[in-house]
A and B are shown apart, each in its own frame.
Chain A
Amino acid sequence: MRFTSIIDAIGHTPLVELRSYSPRTGVRVFAKLEGHNPTGSLKDRIAKFMIDQAEREGLLTRDKVILEPTSGNTGISLAMIARVKGYRLKVVMPENVSPERVDMLRLFGAEIVFSSGEKGTNGSIEVAQRMVSEDARYFMPYQYGNLANPQAHYDTTAQEIIDDLPEIDMFVAGLGTGGTLMGVGRCLKDHNPQVKVLAAVPHPGELIFGLRNLDEGFIPPIVDLDLLDGRIVVESEDAFRSTRELTEREGIFAGVSSGAVMACAKRLASRMDKGSIVALLADGGWKYLSSQLWTRSYEDMGQETQDMVWW
């Protein structure tokens, strides 16, 4: 495949059958490997869509600085595109993310504003919104409220899945902004209303003690919870174990949210008589090597590692 720019090489990721995850004949589990994107995550797709749209609408011009709150991956994707296109980028990210996220942002030339770890990504959103309201030079794509986010997944991710597996019965992916689940979910249900769409969410553990009360929670404006057929919360320990198991059983090296998604896929597959499940594996394992999750037991990781923001 030949491309004129790395940006054109986004998408068209492999769909790989995970034979060892089939609980019985007739139930098949497939993984969509988003780690195969240029910066190693699904977020390349939405960064491209959001920047293209902002350029088309004249919202993003040379004099602007792109500013985006992120748990990391969206920032890394925007940083790559900003490099290629010559924009300045600042990201607001929780301080308790894996060091590889920081390294990757810096290598693409992004500036980083760290927000309090105690508030997770909710805190990054607050800080970025305040910065934008105080300085007109910033352009914020705002993945949480930007319809180009789900649209990228409707037009590309979902279409690729339908092309490769038109008989899909169930889709499971991590929920962060909800862009993946809304975009892919809507397209799959348009294709076949019987398709079930399931969300995996991280258990925040002891992480979110910075929230003063439950009313400080945040549901991204692009999320319509009624589109989902279920939501499953996965503890970090289970996500790590599943991440490692995926490498051991299938030779697939993926990130922590992918482990959580696989834990859900196993549970869902075990209840199915027949059918095909697609699990979306959002990124590769590279950015998590420093956690040593493949070589250390959960107990040996230490609280600081256990309490990181994983997606």
Chain B
Amino acid sequence: MAAEVRIPSLLRGQVGGSRSIQASGPTVGHALDDIEARFPGFKERVIDPNGTIKQFVSIFINGEDVRYIQSLDTPLQDGDQVSILPAVAGG
């Protein structure tokens, strides 16, 4: 499955400046592995050493937080859009 992963500005240095990159894999976690294979060091910015999504990071698939779906095991369909965003406050 090939998804488009949108890269937030503060991670673009990690992927050669791209705003979005194509990544493939059956799940969100596999898509991140695919990016890591091409841009080593990317994944540790998003995922903790214990394999969970970092506290202040959210991953959205087609706008929906994967935390409330199946986290990194959330299945990917062709053409899905994945966004990685930092936690920002409002109020």
Contact = CB atoms under 8 A, between A and B. Distances in A.
B65 interface: yes
Contacts, number: 104
Given A214-B10, A214-B11, A230-B65, A202 B90 contact: yes
Given A214-B10, A232-B63, A122 B91 contact: no
B58 interface: yes
A138 interface: no
A212 B54 contact: no
A242 to B, nearest CB: 13
B88 A233 contact: no
B53 to A, nearest CB: 10
A131 B56 CA distance: 25
Instruction: Indicate the size class of the contact surface on chain A.
Output: 35 or more
Interface in A20-61: none
Nearest to A177: B91
B65 A214 contact: no
Contact of B68 (A176, A179, A219, A230): A230
A220 B89 contact: yes
Interface in B31-68: 45-46, 54-58, 60, 63-65, 67-68
A71 B57 CA distance: 21
A248 B63 CA distance: 25
List 5 tightest A-B contacts by C-beta distance, closest first: A176-B90, A217-B56, A217-B87, A231-B65, A177-B91
Nearest to A198: B68
B52 to A, nearest CB: 13
Nearest to B66: A231
B85 interface: yes
Contacts of A122: 88-89
Contacts of B86: 204, 208, 211, 214, 216-217
Highest count of chain A CB atoms <10 Å: which of B56, B83, B85, B90: B90
A233 B89 contact: no
